Chains A and B, each alone.
Chain A
Amino acid sequence: MKKIFTYISALIILIGCGGGESSAPDQEMVISEQYTVSSGDKIVKSSESAILRVHHVDGTKESTVTLLEGKATIQY
Protein backbone atom coordinates (compact mmCIF):
# COMPACT_ATOMS: atom_id res chain seq x y z
CA MET A 1 0.00 0.00 0.00
CA LYS A 2 2.84 2.35 0.90
CA LYS A 3 4.58 1.45 -2.38
CA ILE A 4 1.46 2.22 -4.42
CA PHE A 5 1.07 5.57 -2.66
CA THR A 6 4.72 6.41 -3.42
CA TYR A 7 4.31 5.50 -7.12
CA ILE A 8 1.15 7.59 -7.47
CA SER A 9 2.76 10.56 -5.72
CA ALA A 10 5.80 10.33 -8.00
CA LEU A 11 3.55 10.13 -11.06
CA ILE A 12 1.58 13.21 -10.00
CA ILE A 13 4.81 15.15 -9.45
CA LEU A 14 6.18 14.07 -12.84
CA ILE A 15 2.98 15.00 -14.70
CA GLY A 16 2.84 18.28 -12.84
CA CYS A 17 6.40 19.20 -13.83
CA GLY A 18 6.42 18.10 -17.46
CA GLY A 19 2.87 18.59 -18.69
CA GLY A 20 2.83 22.36 -19.19
CA GLU A 21 3.82 23.99 -22.51
CA SER A 22 6.50 26.61 -22.08
CA SER A 23 5.35 29.90 -23.66
CA ALA A 24 7.68 32.50 -25.16
CA PRO A 25 8.22 35.66 -23.11
CA ASP A 26 6.33 38.81 -24.03
CA GLN A 27 7.87 40.74 -26.88
CA GLU A 28 8.00 44.52 -26.78
CA MET A 29 7.45 45.74 -30.33
CA VAL A 30 9.83 48.09 -32.10
CA ILE A 31 8.32 50.58 -34.55
CA SER A 32 8.52 49.52 -38.24
CA GLU A 33 9.80 46.04 -37.39
CA GLN A 34 7.82 43.03 -38.62
CA TYR A 35 6.69 40.25 -36.30
CA THR A 36 4.80 37.03 -36.97
CA VAL A 37 1.85 36.25 -34.74
CA SER A 38 -0.25 33.08 -34.64
CA SER A 39 -3.72 32.18 -33.60
CA GLY A 40 -4.04 32.77 -29.80
CA ASP A 41 -1.36 35.49 -29.57
CA LYS A 42 -2.40 38.88 -28.23
CA ILE A 43 -1.13 42.40 -28.81
CA VAL A 44 -1.72 45.01 -26.13
CA LYS A 45 -0.80 48.68 -26.22
CA SER A 46 1.34 50.31 -23.53
CA SER A 47 0.84 53.89 -24.68
CA GLU A 48 -2.38 55.88 -24.90
CA SER A 49 -2.55 55.35 -28.65
CA ALA A 50 -0.85 52.72 -30.80
CA ILE A 51 -1.35 51.96 -34.48
CA LEU A 52 -0.71 48.55 -35.95
CA ARG A 53 -0.50 47.25 -39.52
CA VAL A 54 -1.66 43.66 -40.03
CA HIS A 55 -0.91 41.63 -43.15
CA HIS A 56 -2.71 38.32 -43.58
CA VAL A 57 -2.83 35.67 -46.29
CA ASP A 58 -6.24 34.00 -46.49
CA GLY A 59 -6.22 30.38 -45.34
CA THR A 60 -3.15 30.68 -43.12
CA LYS A 61 -3.02 30.81 -39.29
CA GLU A 62 -0.26 33.42 -39.08
CA SER A 63 -0.24 37.17 -39.68
CA THR A 64 2.57 39.66 -40.04
CA VAL A 65 2.25 42.70 -37.80
CA THR A 66 4.11 46.02 -37.78
CA LEU A 67 3.80 48.71 -35.14
CA LEU A 68 3.46 52.09 -36.87
CA GLU A 69 2.95 54.41 -33.89
CA GLY A 70 2.98 54.20 -30.07
CA LYS A 71 4.09 51.33 -27.87
CA ALA A 72 2.80 47.74 -27.77
CA THR A 73 3.68 44.26 -26.60
CA ILE A 74 3.03 40.85 -28.11
CA GLN A 75 1.88 38.25 -25.59
CA TYR A 76 2.61 34.79 -27.02
Chain B
Amino acid sequence: MKLYKHTLLLFTLFIWSTSILYAAPTKIMLLGDSITYDSRYGDTRPTSTREAYRSHLWYMLQDAKYNADFVGSQKAGSTITPPFDIDNEGHPGWSSYQIAERVYGYMLNSQPDIVLLHIGTNDHSTSTRGVESILNEIDQYERDTNHKVTVLVALIIDREVHDPIIAAFNKKLSSLISFRRQTGDIVTLVDMYNKSALAPADYADNTHPNSTGYKKMANVWLDALLSPYKPFNTALGAFSYTLVGSEDIISIDINEAENTVEFETEIPNDGIRF
Protein backbone atom coordinates (compact mmCIF):
# COMPACT_ATOMS: atom_id res chain seq x y z
CA MET B 1 0.00 0.00 0.00
CA LYS B 2 2.89 2.35 0.90
CA LEU B 3 4.68 1.50 -2.34
CA TYR B 4 1.49 2.24 -4.25
CA LYS B 5 1.21 5.67 -2.58
CA HIS B 6 4.84 6.53 -3.41
CA THR B 7 4.42 5.44 -7.01
CA LEU B 8 1.29 7.55 -7.34
CA LEU B 9 3.06 10.58 -5.85
CA LEU B 10 6.05 10.17 -8.18
CA PHE B 11 3.78 9.80 -11.17
CA THR B 12 1.86 12.98 -10.22
CA LEU B 13 5.12 14.88 -9.79
CA PHE B 14 6.36 13.64 -13.16
CA ILE B 15 3.20 14.80 -14.95
CA TRP B 16 3.32 18.19 -13.18
CA SER B 17 7.00 18.81 -14.02
CA THR B 18 6.64 17.80 -17.67
CA SER B 19 3.63 20.10 -18.04
CA ILE B 20 5.80 22.98 -16.82
CA LEU B 21 8.82 22.05 -18.92
CA TYR B 22 6.81 21.41 -22.07
CA ALA B 23 4.10 24.11 -21.88
CA ALA B 24 2.49 24.41 -25.28
CA PRO B 25 4.01 27.24 -27.32
CA THR B 26 1.83 30.08 -28.59
CA LYS B 27 1.02 29.41 -32.23
CA ILE B 28 1.54 32.57 -34.24
CA MET B 29 0.50 32.90 -37.88
CA LEU B 30 2.35 35.58 -39.86
CA LEU B 31 -0.25 36.33 -42.53
CA GLY B 32 0.25 38.60 -45.51
CA ASP B 33 1.91 39.04 -48.88
CA SER B 34 5.49 39.44 -50.14
CA ILE B 35 6.31 41.74 -47.22
CA THR B 36 5.70 38.76 -44.93
CA TYR B 37 7.26 36.14 -47.19
CA ASP B 38 10.17 38.27 -48.42
CA SER B 39 9.96 38.74 -52.16
CA ARG B 40 10.90 41.73 -54.30
CA TYR B 41 10.21 42.65 -57.90
CA GLY B 42 12.15 40.28 -60.18
CA ASP B 43 13.54 38.43 -57.17
CA THR B 44 15.79 35.47 -58.05
CA ARG B 45 17.02 34.63 -54.56
CA PRO B 46 16.38 31.03 -53.51
CA THR B 47 13.43 30.40 -51.21
CA SER B 48 15.80 29.24 -48.50
CA THR B 49 17.18 32.78 -48.13
CA ARG B 50 13.85 34.61 -47.73
CA GLU B 51 13.22 35.91 -44.22
CA ALA B 52 11.51 39.36 -44.23
CA TYR B 53 10.70 40.46 -40.66
CA ARG B 54 10.09 36.85 -39.62
CA SER B 55 13.64 35.89 -38.63
CA HIS B 56 14.20 39.15 -36.73
CA LEU B 57 10.92 38.68 -34.85
CA TRP B 58 11.83 35.09 -34.04
CA TYR B 59 15.20 36.09 -32.56
CA MET B 60 13.57 38.89 -30.56
CA LEU B 61 10.93 36.52 -29.20
CA GLN B 62 13.63 34.03 -28.23
CA ASP B 63 15.50 36.79 -26.38
CA ALA B 64 12.25 37.74 -24.60
CA LYS B 65 11.79 34.04 -23.58
CA TYR B 66 8.49 34.02 -25.48
CA ASN B 67 7.55 30.44 -26.29
CA ALA B 68 6.40 30.85 -29.90
CA ASP B 69 5.63 28.50 -32.74
CA PHE B 70 5.26 30.17 -36.14
CA VAL B 71 2.66 28.32 -38.19
CA GLY B 72 1.51 28.34 -41.80
CA SER B 73 1.59 26.49 -45.11
CA GLN B 74 4.53 28.48 -46.53
CA LYS B 75 8.15 27.79 -45.65
CA ALA B 76 11.00 30.14 -46.49
CA GLY B 77 14.36 30.86 -44.92
CA SER B 78 15.80 27.40 -44.17
CA THR B 79 19.44 28.43 -44.75
CA ILE B 80 19.29 31.62 -42.69
CA THR B 81 21.56 31.57 -39.64
CA PRO B 82 20.87 31.44 -36.80
CA PRO B 83 18.00 29.18 -37.81
CA PHE B 84 14.44 30.30 -37.09
CA ASP B 85 10.91 28.92 -37.48
CA ILE B 86 10.35 29.31 -41.22
CA ASP B 87 6.60 28.52 -41.25
CA ASN B 88 4.50 31.43 -42.43
CA GLU B 89 1.44 32.43 -44.42
CA GLY B 90 3.02 35.08 -46.63
CA HIS B 91 1.79 34.96 -50.26
CA PRO B 92 3.76 37.21 -52.63
CA GLY B 93 1.61 39.34 -54.90
CA TRP B 94 -1.65 38.50 -53.17
CA SER B 95 -4.32 41.05 -52.40
CA SER B 96 -6.46 41.03 -49.25
CA TYR B 97 -9.30 39.50 -51.27
CA GLN B 98 -7.16 36.52 -52.27
CA ILE B 99 -6.14 35.98 -48.64
CA ALA B 100 -9.81 36.22 -47.59
CA GLU B 101 -10.72 33.37 -49.96
CA ARG B 102 -8.21 31.00 -48.35
CA VAL B 103 -7.81 32.16 -44.76
CA TYR B 104 -10.46 29.87 -43.29
CA GLY B 105 -8.56 26.83 -44.57
CA TYR B 106 -5.25 28.20 -43.29
CA MET B 107 -6.81 28.66 -39.86
CA LEU B 108 -8.19 25.13 -39.82
CA ASN B 109 -4.83 23.64 -40.83
CA SER B 110 -2.63 25.64 -38.44
CA GLN B 111 -4.99 26.53 -35.58
CA PRO B 112 -3.08 29.67 -34.54
CA ASP B 113 -3.62 31.44 -31.22
CA ILE B 114 -2.45 34.76 -32.64
CA VAL B 115 -2.52 36.13 -36.19
CA LEU B 116 -0.25 38.97 -37.29
CA LEU B 117 -1.87 40.46 -40.39
CA HIS B 118 -0.11 42.83 -42.77
CA ILE B 119 -2.13 42.98 -45.99
CA GLY B 120 -3.44 45.48 -48.52
CA THR B 121 -0.34 46.65 -50.39
CA ASN B 122 -1.34 44.70 -53.52
CA ASP B 123 -4.94 45.95 -53.39
CA HIS B 124 -3.90 49.31 -54.88
CA SER B 125 -7.15 50.66 -53.47
CA THR B 126 -8.41 52.60 -50.49
CA SER B 127 -11.14 50.03 -49.83
CA THR B 128 -10.74 47.80 -46.77
CA ARG B 129 -13.43 45.32 -47.80
CA GLY B 130 -10.84 42.58 -48.30
CA VAL B 131 -9.47 42.98 -44.77
CA GLU B 132 -13.01 43.01 -43.44
CA SER B 133 -13.64 39.69 -45.23
CA ILE B 134 -10.46 38.21 -43.72
CA LEU B 135 -11.58 39.20 -40.23
CA ASN B 136 -15.07 37.83 -40.87
CA GLU B 137 -13.58 34.51 -41.97
CA ILE B 138 -11.42 34.35 -38.84
CA ASP B 139 -14.49 35.12 -36.70
CA GLN B 140 -16.35 32.33 -38.46
CA TYR B 141 -13.45 29.94 -37.75
CA GLU B 142 -13.55 30.95 -34.06
CA ARG B 143 -17.28 30.27 -33.87
CA ASP B 144 -17.03 26.94 -35.70
CA THR B 145 -14.11 25.61 -33.66
CA ASN B 146 -14.69 27.40 -30.36
CA HIS B 147 -11.03 28.46 -30.51
CA LYS B 148 -10.30 32.09 -29.58
CA VAL B 149 -7.84 33.87 -31.83
CA THR B 150 -6.21 37.22 -31.14
CA VAL B 151 -5.72 39.17 -34.35
CA LEU B 152 -3.17 41.96 -34.61
CA VAL B 153 -3.88 44.01 -37.73
CA ALA B 154 -1.15 46.29 -39.01
CA LEU B 155 -1.58 49.65 -40.64
CA ILE B 156 0.49 48.73 -43.69
CA ILE B 157 3.86 50.30 -44.40
CA ASP B 158 4.19 53.10 -46.93
CA ARG B 159 6.17 52.72 -50.13
CA GLU B 160 9.60 54.31 -50.39
CA VAL B 161 7.96 57.08 -52.43
CA HIS B 162 4.95 58.13 -50.36
CA ASP B 163 1.75 56.52 -51.61
CA PRO B 164 -1.43 58.50 -50.78
CA ILE B 165 -3.55 55.42 -51.56
CA ILE B 166 -1.84 53.53 -48.71
CA ALA B 167 -2.37 56.51 -46.37
CA ALA B 168 -6.10 56.59 -47.22
CA PHE B 169 -6.35 52.78 -46.93
CA ASN B 170 -4.81 52.94 -43.46
CA LYS B 171 -7.23 55.64 -42.36
CA LYS B 172 -10.17 53.44 -43.35
CA LEU B 173 -8.49 50.41 -41.78
CA SER B 174 -8.15 52.29 -38.50
CA SER B 175 -11.89 53.09 -38.55
CA LEU B 176 -12.74 49.49 -39.43
CA ILE B 177 -10.75 48.10 -36.51
CA SER B 178 -12.24 50.65 -34.09
CA PHE B 179 -15.72 49.68 -35.21
CA ARG B 180 -15.02 45.97 -34.80
CA ARG B 181 -13.53 46.53 -31.35
CA GLN B 182 -16.63 48.48 -30.35
CA THR B 183 -18.72 45.49 -31.30
CA GLY B 184 -16.63 43.10 -29.19
CA ASP B 185 -14.18 41.63 -31.72
CA ILE B 186 -10.82 40.72 -30.13
CA VAL B 187 -8.65 42.59 -32.57
CA THR B 188 -5.84 45.08 -32.07
CA LEU B 189 -4.56 47.73 -34.44
CA VAL B 190 -0.77 47.86 -34.79
CA ASP B 191 0.52 51.15 -36.14
CA MET B 192 3.21 49.70 -38.39
CA TYR B 193 2.79 52.68 -40.74
CA ASN B 194 4.17 55.20 -38.24
CA LYS B 195 5.94 53.16 -35.58
CA SER B 196 8.23 51.29 -37.98
CA ALA B 197 9.53 54.75 -39.02
CA LEU B 198 10.91 53.42 -42.28
CA ALA B 199 13.31 55.81 -44.03
CA PRO B 200 14.18 55.62 -47.76
CA ALA B 201 17.38 53.81 -46.81
CA ASP B 202 15.29 51.01 -45.24
CA TYR B 203 13.84 49.90 -48.59
CA ALA B 204 15.14 47.30 -51.06
CA ASP B 205 12.76 48.63 -53.73
CA ASN B 206 9.80 50.98 -53.76
CA THR B 207 7.58 48.50 -51.89
CA HIS B 208 9.71 46.09 -49.90
CA PRO B 209 11.99 46.86 -46.94
CA ASN B 210 15.57 45.64 -46.77
CA SER B 211 16.94 43.81 -43.75
CA THR B 212 17.19 47.03 -41.68
CA GLY B 213 13.60 47.92 -42.54
CA TYR B 214 12.35 44.43 -41.73
CA LYS B 215 14.12 44.58 -38.37
CA LYS B 216 12.21 47.80 -37.62
CA MET B 217 8.96 46.04 -38.53
CA ALA B 218 9.85 43.12 -36.25
CA ASN B 219 10.34 45.55 -33.37
CA VAL B 220 6.81 46.91 -33.82
CA TRP B 221 5.34 43.39 -33.96
CA LEU B 222 7.31 42.44 -30.84
CA ASP B 223 5.97 45.44 -28.90
CA ALA B 224 2.43 44.53 -29.93
CA LEU B 225 2.88 40.88 -28.98
CA LEU B 226 4.31 41.70 -25.57
CA SER B 227 1.70 44.36 -24.76
CA PRO B 228 -1.34 43.14 -22.84
CA TYR B 229 -4.64 43.26 -24.72
CA LYS B 230 -6.29 46.65 -24.26
CA PRO B 231 -10.07 46.60 -24.30
CA PHE B 232 -11.92 49.24 -26.26
CA ASN B 233 -12.43 52.61 -24.52
CA THR B 234 -16.22 52.72 -24.44
CA ALA B 235 -16.32 56.38 -23.35
CA LEU B 236 -14.47 57.33 -26.52
CA GLY B 237 -16.84 55.27 -28.62
CA ALA B 238 -19.93 56.77 -27.01
CA PHE B 239 -18.84 60.45 -27.05
CA SER B 240 -20.34 61.42 -30.41
CA TYR B 241 -23.65 59.73 -29.58
CA THR B 242 -23.98 61.78 -26.38
CA LEU B 243 -24.09 64.93 -28.54
CA VAL B 244 -26.06 63.97 -31.64
CA GLY B 245 -28.24 61.14 -32.85
CA SER B 246 -26.68 58.41 -34.97
CA GLU B 247 -28.85 59.48 -37.94
CA ASP B 248 -26.94 62.80 -38.11
CA ILE B 249 -23.43 61.33 -37.86
CA ILE B 250 -21.62 61.13 -41.18
CA SER B 251 -18.34 59.54 -40.04
CA ILE B 252 -16.48 58.70 -36.84
CA ASP B 253 -12.72 58.27 -36.56
CA ILE B 254 -11.51 56.96 -33.21
CA ASN B 255 -7.79 56.99 -32.49
CA GLU B 256 -7.32 54.75 -29.48
CA ALA B 257 -3.57 55.31 -29.35
CA GLU B 258 -4.06 59.07 -28.93
CA ASN B 259 -7.33 58.69 -27.02
CA THR B 260 -9.17 60.96 -29.45
CA VAL B 261 -12.38 60.87 -31.41
CA GLU B 262 -13.14 62.96 -34.48
CA PHE B 263 -16.53 62.88 -36.13
CA GLU B 264 -18.44 64.73 -38.80
CA THR B 265 -22.11 65.43 -38.31
CA GLU B 266 -25.06 67.30 -39.70
CA ILE B 267 -26.05 69.92 -37.14
CA PRO B 268 -29.57 68.90 -36.05
CA ASN B 269 -32.42 71.43 -36.07
CA ASP B 270 -32.23 71.91 -32.29
CA GLY B 271 -28.44 72.37 -32.39
CA ILE B 272 -25.66 70.60 -30.52
CA ARG B 273 -25.24 71.20 -26.80
CA PHE B 274 -21.71 70.32 -25.51
Q: Which residues of A does B touch, CB under 8 Å?
A: 37-45, 49-59, 63, 68, 70, 72, 75
Contacts and interface: CB of A to CB of B under 8 A. Distances in A.
A37 B274 CA distance: 7
Interface string B232-248: 01011001100100000
Contacts, number: 66
Interface in B116-132: none
Given A51-B250, A53-B262, A58 B267 contact: no
Given A54-B262, A58-B235, A63 B274 contact: yes
A57 B260 CA distance: 4
Contact of B265 (A40, A52, A75): A52
Contact of A45 (B240, B250, B264, B267): B267
A54 B271 contact: no
B263 interface: yes
A75 B272 CA distance: 10
A14 to B, nearest CB: 33
A49 B268 CA distance: 9
Given A49-B266, A51-B250, A58 B271 contact: no
B267 A42 contact: no
A57 B264 contact: no
B273 interface: yes
A53 B146 CA distance: 42
B267 A44 contact: yes
B267 A70 contact: yes
B13 interface: no
Contact of B267 (A37, A51, A75): A51
B248 to A, nearest CB: 10
